[in-house]
């Protein structure tokens, strides 16, 4: 008998596989391929206080071993999400995580207050956003800035709080410790890496914003190292993100210390990737005589 359940901040996941924010929409499209109740959880497309149209120009660009994206957090806004998308998600029998973004602390706080009154299971705070009141520097670069936004959100947040870390942090371990000190119940890492692509025919950057976020298998070894380091440094559950394409990748993250994983880029290549990873983990556990994931978590 095997048991794939994991408990993160008091929330039970039937398995450790979560659809990553920004790669799964709000689940409707993927529900045509498989029952999303099979997922351990689903992290929503990044939500902002008000509706956003997103960036102009190219938004997705394939590169060696991954993809680059410059979506610009296109989303319907918190209120429209609650009214139009959340009822569907709440009927799917899986853990629903609302990914929240903002450009000011006030935006984060108001968004979280609105979500407090819903049946969302957890909130994932995306601190990779530019802090407009600090000259545009990301909340997730400097530990003291991240500490402040997490602390302010923690004061009002009634849900278990995950903080999603950026690989651009000056020191990823210091950043993690700062967010936990401020009240994070769990951490997810990493977000996409800032990257650049150039069209040599047009002699210009491919993206209107010049740089874009890099994800996919090319970032996995670096992301895995960061998850390992953070898992050793903090006493809250860590969710691993970065280049997870199959069950072997997921097991690597768990062995590095992750309690669960988020699958992103793989969903664009194979809409059934999450289900296949879940089945692969189950098969691995059976073949290796592993009863629970706790037996291999953090063994590295």
The one-character DSSP state at 89 is H
- For β-strands 66-69 and 260-263, DSSP reports them as unpaired
* Other CB atoms within 10 A of residue 109 CB: 19
> Which one is catalytic: 129, 157, 179, 274?
129
Q: How far apart are CA 136 and CA 144, in angstroms?
A: 15
* Other CB atoms within 10 A of residue 169 CB: 25
Match 């799964």 to its residue by tokens: 24
Question: Are 300 and 257 contacting, i.e. CB atoms less than 8 angstroms apart?
Answer: yes
Does residue 274 have an active-site annotation?
A: no
Q: How far apart are CA 297 and CA 300, in angstroms?
A: 8
In angstroms and rounded to an integer, the radius of gyration of the C-alpha atoms of the chain is 18
Q: Across the chain, which distance is largest between two alpha carbons, in Å?
A: 59
Q: Which residues are catalytic?
A: 129
């Amino acid at each position: 008998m095997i048991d794939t359940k994991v408990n993160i901040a008091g929330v039970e996941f039937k398995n450790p596989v979560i659809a990553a924010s920004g790669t799964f929409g709000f689940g409707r499209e993927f529900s045509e391929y498989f029952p999303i109740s099979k997922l351990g959880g689903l992290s929503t497309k990044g939500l902002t206080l008000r509706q956003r149209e997103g960036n102009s120009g190219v938004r997705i660009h394939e590169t060696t071993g991954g993809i680059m994206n410059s979506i610009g957090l296109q989303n319907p806004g918190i209120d429209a999400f609650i009214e139009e998308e959340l009822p569907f998600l709440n009927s799917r029998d899986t853990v629903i995580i609302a990914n929240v973004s903002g450009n000011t602390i006030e935006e984060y706080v108001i968004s979280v207050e609105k979500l407090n009154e819903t049946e969302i299971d957890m909130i994932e705070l995306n601190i990779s956003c530019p802090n407009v009141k600090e000259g545009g520097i990301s909340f997730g670069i400097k530990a003291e800035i991240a500490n402040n936004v997490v602390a302010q959100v923690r004061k009002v947040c009634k849900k278990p709080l995950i903080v999603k870390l950026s690989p651009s942090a000056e020191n990823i371990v210091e950043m993690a410790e700062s967010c936990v000190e401020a009240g994070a119940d769990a951490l997810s890492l990493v977000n996409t890496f800032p990257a650049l692509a150039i069209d040599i025919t047009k002699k210009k950057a491919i993206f209107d914003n010049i740089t874009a976020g890099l994800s996919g298998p090319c970032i996995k070894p670096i992301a895995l190292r960061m998850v390992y380091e953070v898992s050793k440094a903090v006493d809250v559950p860590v969710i691993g993100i970065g280049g997870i394409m199959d069950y072997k990748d997921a097991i690597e993250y768990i062995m590095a210390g992750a309690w669960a994983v988020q699958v992103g880029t793989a969903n664009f290549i194979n809409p059934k990737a999450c289900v296949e990873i879940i089945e692969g983990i189950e098969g691995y556990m059976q073949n290796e005589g592993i009863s629970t994931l706790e037996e291999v978590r953090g063994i590295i």
